Structure 1
Amino acid sequence: MPGPVFLEGETVSLRPVEREDIEFLHRVMNDRRVWRPALDIDPMNAEQGEEFFETVITNGDGVHCLACDGEEPLGVVTLAFSQYGPDETSRARSAELAYWFAPEHHGRGYGSDAAARMVRYAFEDRNLRRLSARLGSFNDASRGLLESLGFEREGRLREAAWYRGEYHDMLVYGLLRKDWDASESE
């Protein structure tokens, strides 16, 4: 059973990821429809699921929420601070947005709602100034989601991703609070 509601979206609730959710994480992160586009090619056994929970979810270097429809877990949405280091994060007031959803929930708007709620939380509650996101150039769904939230493409890392037997570019997207504020008032 998912933990208490932390943030409420239009169609999803965001809840802290609990130890009881490891089985869901383990199942979905081993689904090729999730790990391939996420470019995370290693399988995860039960012990690694526990380790992921202990070292990533509970390490304090980000905000990790389980997106749920009622009591049903759908996916995970995250604000990651570790790439900047604790001092850089506080000075630059920035984080990276990341998300993944179980394939049976793709295309239903859950990811958009969860990401939009996390963006609002980042800017309004955490007082962040900037968000970024990275994705493979082949991931049209993620690109559409980010652009619908006002993210702009800021860069391209040429042939930086290996996906389904070919090299692909990695795209870097960003959203400034001042641009988000403008879009929210429209």
Structure 2
Amino acid sequence: MPGPVFLEGDAVTLRPIEEADIEFVQRCMNDPRVWRPALDSNPMNRELGSEFFEEVLSTEENVHCLVCNGEEPLGIVSLTGSQYGPDETARARGAELAYYLAPEHHDEGYGSDAAARMIRYAFEDRNLRRVSARCGSFNDASIGLLESLGFEHEGTLREAAWFRGEYHDMLWYGLLRADWRAER
């Protein structure tokens, strides 16, 4: 059963991830329609799911929420610190947005709603200045979601992602609070 509502979107709620949700996370992360675009090629058994819950999803440094429609879990949306470390994140006032939905909930608008609500939280409640995101150049759905939310393509890491037997570019996107406010 998902935890209490933390944030409400138009169609989804964002809730703390609880230990009881590990099975859902594990199911998603073992589905090739999730792990291939996420570029995470290792299987996740119950023990690894528990470690992931303890070491990643349950830390205070980052924000990880279960995306739900009512009581039904749909996916996860996260705000994580800078790849350069917590000191750099604090100085730059930025975080990275990440998300995935269970494949049966793709193309229903839930991902856009969850990401939009997390972005609003980042700017209004956490006082961040920028939110970044990255995805493989092969991931048209993620590119479309980011661009629909006002993110701008800021850079390309050439052939930095291995996906289905080929190297692909990794795309970096960014959204500044000033630009987000202007679009509202």
1:47 aligns with 2:37: no
Deviation sequence 1:36-72 (CA, Å, 0-9, x none): 0000000001000000000001122210000000000
Aligned residue number for residue 31 of structure 1: 31
Query: What aligned pairs does 1:5-24 form with structure 2 within 5 A after superposition?
Result: 5-24=5-24
Distance 2:84 2:96 in 1: 9
Aligned residue number for residue 68 of structure 2: 68
Q: Tell me which amino acid in the other structure corresponds to 2:62.
A: G
Give structure 1 regions of 4+ aligned residues with deviation exceeding 3 angstroms. Answer: none
Distance 2:4 2:79 in 1: 19
- Indicate the SS of the match to 1:35: helix
Q: Give the C-alpha shift of residue 84 in structure 1.
A: 3.3
Aligned residue number for residue 140 of structure 2: 140
Deviation sequence 1:88-138 (CA, Å, 0-9, x none): 111111000000000000000000000000000000000000110010000
Check conservation: 2:82, 2:96, Cα contact below 8 A.
Answer: no
- The count of corresponding residues between Structure 1 and Structure 2 is 184
Aligned residue number for residue 172 of structure 1: 172
- Indicate the SS of the match to 1:68: strand
Q: Tell me which amino acid in the other structure corresponds to 2:90.
A: S
| TM-score (structure 1 length as normaliser) | 0.97
Distance 1:36 1:88 in 2: 30
Structure 1 residue runs of 5 or longer lacking an equivalent are none
Q: Give the C-alpha shift of residue 83 in structure 1.
A: 1.9
| TM-score (structure 2 length as normaliser) | 0.98
- Indicate the SS of the match to 1:167: strand
RMSD, matched Cα:
0.7
Distance 2:22 2:10 in 1: 25
Distance 1:102 1:156 in 2: 27
Q: Give the C-alpha shift of residue 82 in structure 1.
A: 5.1
Structure 2 residue runs of 5 or longer lacking an equivalent are none
Q: Tell me which amino acid in the other structure corresponds to 1:181.
A: R
